[in-house]
Amino acid sequence: MSENIVERLAGIAPSGPLGAALQGRADVMAMTEATHDAALKPADPGGLSHALRAALAARVARLNGEEALAAHYLALMAEAEGSEAEVAVADPAFKGDDAGRIAAILAFTDLVSMRPRDTVAADIEALQAAGLSDPDIVRLAELNAFLAYQIRVIAGLRLMRASA
């Protein structure tokens, strides 16, 4: 099994029928892994801890029905030893406490991951009102955006494998 996350979770074997196509894009696969690390485990996490990032990622994976990917992020979350409040985030049914910072982060994450077209300026203002700095808003958007990419690469590869 491949060492990179998307190929592993799509069930692609390096020696299988899709191995050659993926070998031709080995640079892209390596860069994809690097973006995962930058979005989930940055050296400077700003106001979004590694545990919170992993918990949000598990939440978004679950919202997309990607249970194996959610398990990957739950493992990262456990590694990062998040607080109880951070761990709660991984459950899509949890919406946060009234009008707090986490509630704002969750509302934004659920919107951007599942209905990005409906995002408006007021959604950014809500994060600012909840106390997020502009750099943290960009970090949160990047995390969501990266996950949308990763989830679709896995979904696409899985379909390719099934029809190879």
Partner 1 sequence: MSGIIHAFTTQIPDWRPRVRPVDLAEATPEQLDALKVTPSNTKVSDYVLVLANDVETLKVRTPLFNAIMYNRGGLSRAERELGAVGASVVNRCVYCAAVHASRFNQLTKDERVMERIFRDGEAARLDARQAAIFRFAVKLSKAPSEADEADMQALRDAGLDDGEILDLILSAALFGWANRLMHVLGDPVAREDPE
Binding site for partner 1 (CB under 8 A): 17-18, 20-22, 24-25, 27-28, 31-32, 34-35, 37-39, 42-44, 46, 63-66, 112-117, 119, 121, 123-124, 134-135, 137-139, 141-142, 144-146, 148-153, 155-157, 159-160, 162-164
**Can you give 58-91 as a three-state secondary structure string?**
HHHHHHCCCHHHHHHHHHHHHHCCCCHHHHHCCC
Closest distance between partner 1 and the C-beta of residue 46, in Å? 8
Check if the beta carbon of residue 16 is closer than 8 Å to that of residue 7: no
Helix 50-63 with 26-40: angle, nearest 10 deg: 120
Closest distance between partner 1 and the C-beta of residue 98, in Å? 24
Locus of tokens 């949308």: 148
Please identify, using beta-carbon distances, which residue of 46 and 96 lies nearer to partner 1: 46
Please identify, using beta-carbon distances, which residue of 102 and 155 lies nearer to partner 1: 155
Measure the CA–CA gap between 136 and 146, rounded to whole angstroms: 15
Please identify, using beta-carbon distances, which residue of 100 and 135 lies nearer to partner 1: 135
Please identify, using beta-carbon distances, which residue of 34 and 97 lies nearer to partner 1: 34
Residues written for the chain: 164
